[in-house]
Amino acid sequence: MRWENIIATAGLALLFACQTTPPIAIPQTTPVQVPQGPPPKPKIALVLGGGAARGFAHVGVIRALEQEKIPIDLVVGTSVGGLIGAIYAADLSSFDLEWTAFQLEKDDLFDFGVMNAVTGMGFAKGDKLEAWVKTHIKTKNIESLKIPFAAVATDLNWGYKVVLDSGSVARAIRASAAIPGVFEPVSHQGKILVDGGVVDNIPISVAKAKGADLVIAVDISGNVGNTNITNVMGVTLQATNIMFALNVERSKKAADVLIVPAGIGDIGMLDFSQKKRCMQAGIEATRAAMPTVRKVIDDWVAAHSKPPTTP
By annotation, the residues acting in catalysis are 79, 195
Please state whether 56 falls in left (phi above 0), alpha (psi between -120 and 50) or beta.
alpha
SS3 string, the chain, reads CHHHHHHHHHHHHHHHHHCCCCCCCCCCCCCCCECCCCCCCCCEEEEECCCHHHHHHHHHHHHHHHHCCCCCCEEEEECHHHHHHHHHHHHCCHHHHHHHHCCCCHHHHCCECHHHHHHCCEEECCHHHHHHHHHHCCCCEHHHCCCCEEEEEEECCCCCEEEECCCEHHHHHHHHCCCEEEECCEEECCEEEEEHHHCCCCCHHHHHHCCCCEEEEECCCCCCCCCCCCCHHHHHHHHHHHHHHHHHHHHHHHCCEEECCCCCCCCCCCCCCCHHHHHHHHHHHHHHHHHHHHHHHHHHHHHHCCCCECC
Q: Would strands 122-124 and 181-183 be described as parallel, antiparallel, or unpaired?
A: parallel
